[in-house]
């Protein structure tokens, strides 16, 4: 479907508003301009820069600035407009947008032909004090700086760091932290706290086996089936999942990766059009982590799915606006997934989940995927489907 001559334009120049400048929003932007270069696009995002958030764990090795692309650069590169603002929608507001084809923002009226909601999915709320960090902290300061500051402020011989959360993000940070501690010759102990019995539970069993073997080799302690209750005065408060027994461990700092909240999710039909009151809003689309497509395609909260949904929504906006109006269903299934385990190791699958890759082979796949997205940011689309 993606290869069909799907867009036969009418005379009118399209106006599209994209709410959210993450992976899905940028994928939609570049796709729209690839097929309809004269499209007038406004991106609404509260930040001043696009962040390649899936790379945040690498800031223990590289500057945070390597992951930031100012929206002003994207404005110059693609001829779009960026508005620094935050927008929250409910069903009623989206229906109003569909009826009036306009969005009022900071007393400015934005008329549009199509609205794409790609606002992402919020991380779970966490406590905030000096000895607790979460993913948001790494979006403003590089990991190397945060950990160096911690080590300088804690000179005890028995200091320790607790990473909470054994999902993909938590595991990638865990191994980067371990490598950073080794490079800086710090004797800080490192442990992983996880509510499940195995890490990376959403992936094939081989992921857990490989990661746990590497954790054992690197002397990273593992506490499975354990709930995090809080961090207080050099102590982490925990609860055993099965017995509900509460206990404490010495912990100088807790770093929390508790996953994303399944809230503010917009249901959409197989074409990406938002569903409100059981009806599809013809000119309102959703993509990325904030969307759930009622189709056979993947709804995982990954950058891969976000990019594919953003591209499909953009193509269907053009299809809907053209003479034919033949929309393309979302059928994408993930082609693979790789979890980084530091600068020289990784675990993943490619093609089928039974095709497990580790080490250099997995890293090579990961780097190819990253290059593909970097090319998209430069305006070069190498995604075939």
The whole-chain average pLDDT of the chain stands at 92
Domains of the chain in sequence order? 15-122+261-333 (3.50.50.60), 132-256 (3.50.50.60), 335-378 (no CATH)
Q: Is the pLDDT of residue 131 over 70?
A: yes
Measured in degrees and rounded to the nearest 5, phi and psi for residue 52 equal: -80, 80
Rounded average pLDDT over 271-277: 96
**C-alpha angle 17/21/24, rounded to 5°?**
90
Residues of the chain with pLDDT > 70, as a percent, come to: 93
Tokens of 208: 């857990």
What is the CA 62 to chain-centroid distance, rounded? 19
Quote the pLDDT of residue 262.
57
- pLDDT tens digit string along 164-214? 999 999 999 999 999 999 999 999 999 999 999 999 999 999 999 999 999
Quote the pLDDT of residue 4.
43
- pLDDT tens digit string along 218-246? 999 999 999 999 999 899 999 999 999 99
**67: number of Cβ within 10 Å:** 20
Q: How far is CA 127 from CA 130, 168, 228, in A?
A: 10, 21, 12
- pLDDT tens digit string along 13-63? 899 999 999 999 999 999 999 999 999 999 999 999 999 999 999 999 999
- pLDDT tens digit string along 320-363? 998 778 899 999 988 899 999 999 999 999 989 999 999 999 99
Q: Is the pLDDT of residue 155 over 70?
A: no
Tokens of 197: 């019995």
Measured CA to CA, the distance from residue 313 to residue 286 in angstroms comes to: 7
């Amino acid at each position: 479907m993606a290869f069909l001559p799907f867009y036969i334009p009418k005379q009118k120049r399209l106006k599209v508003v994209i709410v959210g400048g993450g992976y899905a929003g940028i994928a939609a932007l570049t796709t729209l301009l690839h097929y309809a270069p004269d499209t007038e696009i406004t991106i609404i995002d509260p930040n001043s820069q696009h962040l390649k958030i899936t790379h945040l764990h690498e800031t223990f090795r590289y500057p945070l600035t390597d992951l930031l692309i100012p929206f002003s650069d994207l404005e110059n590169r693609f001829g779009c407009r960026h508005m620094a603002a935050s927008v929250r929608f409910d069903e009623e507001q989206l229906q109003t947008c569909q009826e009036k084809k306009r969005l009022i923002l900071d007393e400015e009226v934005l008329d549009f032909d199509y609205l794409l909601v790609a606002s992402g999915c919020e991380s779970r709320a966490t406590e905030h004090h000096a000895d607790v960090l979460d993913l948001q902290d790494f979006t403003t300061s590089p990991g190397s700086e945060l950990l160096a500051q911690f080590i300088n402020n804690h000179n005890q011989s028995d200091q320790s760091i607790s990473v909470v959360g054994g999902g993909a993000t938590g595991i990638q940070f865990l191994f980067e932290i371990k490598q950073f501690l080794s490079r800086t010759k710090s004797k800080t102990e490192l442990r992983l706290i996880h509510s499940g019995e195995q890490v990376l539970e959403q992936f094939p069993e081989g992921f857990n086996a490989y990661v746990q073997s590497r954790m054992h080799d690197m002397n990273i302690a593992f506490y499975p089936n354990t709930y995090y209750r809080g961090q207080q005065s050099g102590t982490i408060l925990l609860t055993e999942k099965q017995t509900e027994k509460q206990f404490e461990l010495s912990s100088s700092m807790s770093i929390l990766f508790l996953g994303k909240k399944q809230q503010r999710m917009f249901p959409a039909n197989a074409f990406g059009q938002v569903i409100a009151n059981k009806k599809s809003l013809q000119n309102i689309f959703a993509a990325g982590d904030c969307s759930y497509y009622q189709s056979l395609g993947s709804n995982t909260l990954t950058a891969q799915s976000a990019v594919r949904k953003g591209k499909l929504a953009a193509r269907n906006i053009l299809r809907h606006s053209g003479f034919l109006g033949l929309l393309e269903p979302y059928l994408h299934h993930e082609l693979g997934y790789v979890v980084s385990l530091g600068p020289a190791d990784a675990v993943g699958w490619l093609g089928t989940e039974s095709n497990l890759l580790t080490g250099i082979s997995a890293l090579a796949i990961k780097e190819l995927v990253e290059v593909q997205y970097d090319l998209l940011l430069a305006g070069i689309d190498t995604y075939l489907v």
